[in-house]
Amino acid sequence: MTTPAGAPGTSGDETELARAIGDECRRLGLAVADDAAPRLAAYAAALWRANERLNLTRHTDVGRFVGRDVADSCAIAPHLAPGERVLDVGTGGGVPGLILAILRPDLRVELADSVAKKARAVAAIVAEAGLGVPVHEGPAQQLVARRARGDRFDTLVVRAVAPLLKLLSWFEPVADSYGRMLLVKGPRWEEEKRDARHRGALRRLTVRRIAAWPLPGSDNSSVLLELRPRAAAE
């Protein structure tokens, strides 16, 4: 797809970018309200400008932004209850957390990244796009532990952060401090699950595949996995 107005290196109008994003969402059959497109455009434009200084995303045109970032967020959104408190773990450039905040304004979304320069960059993107989403610098598991009472997170959302086994090792010490985890995984998810089970990392957890959707330009799919403590799942 031709790079649209509003992409890096252009001075195009965000209105045109919003129109292109809306058109692509409709072409792909994504459930995105018309009034979300301008906010998605403001976010994408800010992200792409920041990406010129720091590598935050490879999805720097409308096709990849909608086909991967928006599509992944649309797959997560129906599995979040109204008003849930959500933490985007290892947010990078803000996906999926910022897009979830745009698609579902009822959610209480926060972002965390352990890489200081990325956390500062996404905080600047949030401010530039006027999204008002809190951004935390530092390991997400420490934040989860601090918020274990009162305003604890209902759901941790994770995309493209680490293999399942490594991710579980990070969060095992705070396993009782949040409700559940939703993971976006690619075609190797079953292999990762087998490895985690073989290493004993799933003794206290249930893992369910709750959604799947095609990866654009391939025969593979992305999946959404839900991880819950066994006692909560039962």
Say if strands 180-185 and 221-229 run parallel, antiparallel, or are unpaired.
antiparallel
Residue with tokens 């799947």: 212
Residue with tokens 């976010």: 43
Does residue 135 fall inside a structural domain?
yes
CATH number of the domain encompassing residue 125: 3.40.50.150
Does residue 65 fall inside a structural domain?
no
Q: Are 141 and 181 in contact (CB under 8 A)?
A: no
Q: Are 138 and 110 in contact (CB under 8 A)?
A: no
Residue with tokens 């890096």: 8
Number of domains in the chain: 1
Does residue 1 fall inside a structural domain?
no
Q: Identify the domain containing residue 175 by its residue range.
A: 79-233
Q: What is the pLDDT of residue 6?
A: 39
How far is CA 51 from its chain centroid? 17
The rounded percent of the chain whose pLDDT value lies above 70 is 93
Does residue 47 fall inside a structural domain?
no
The two counts, helices (H) then strands (E), for the chain are 10, 7
Does residue 147 fall inside a structural domain?
yes
Please report how many Cα atoms fall inside a 13 Å half-sphere around the Cα of residue 138, on the Cβ side. 7
Q: What is the pLDDT of residue 232?
A: 56
Q: What is the tens place of the pLDDT at every residue in 186-205?
A: 999 999 999 999 999 999 89
User: From CA 79, how far away is CA 211, in angstroms rounded?
Assistant: 9
Q: Which residues pair with 183 in a beta bridge?
A: 158, 225
- Identify the DSSP state of 176: T
Q: Is the pLDDT of residue 211 over 90?
A: yes
How far is CA 223 from its chain centroid? 13
Does residue 61 fall inside a structural domain?
no
Q: What is the tens place of the pLDDT at every residue in 27-83?
A: 999 999 999 999 999 999 999 999 999 999 999 999 999 999 999 999 999 999 999
Say if strands 205-214 and 180-185 run parallel, antiparallel, or are unpaired.
unpaired
How far separated are the first and last CA of the chain, in Å rounded? 47
Q: Which residues pair with 214 in a beta bridge?
A: 221
pLDDT category at 8 given cuts 50, 70, 90 is very low
User: From CA 48, how far away is CA 102, in angstroms rounded?
Assistant: 17
CA distances from residue 206 to 171, 181, 197, 233 in whole angstroms, order as listed = 15, 11, 11, 7
Does residue 158 fall inside a structural domain?
yes
Does residue 54 fall inside a structural domain?
no
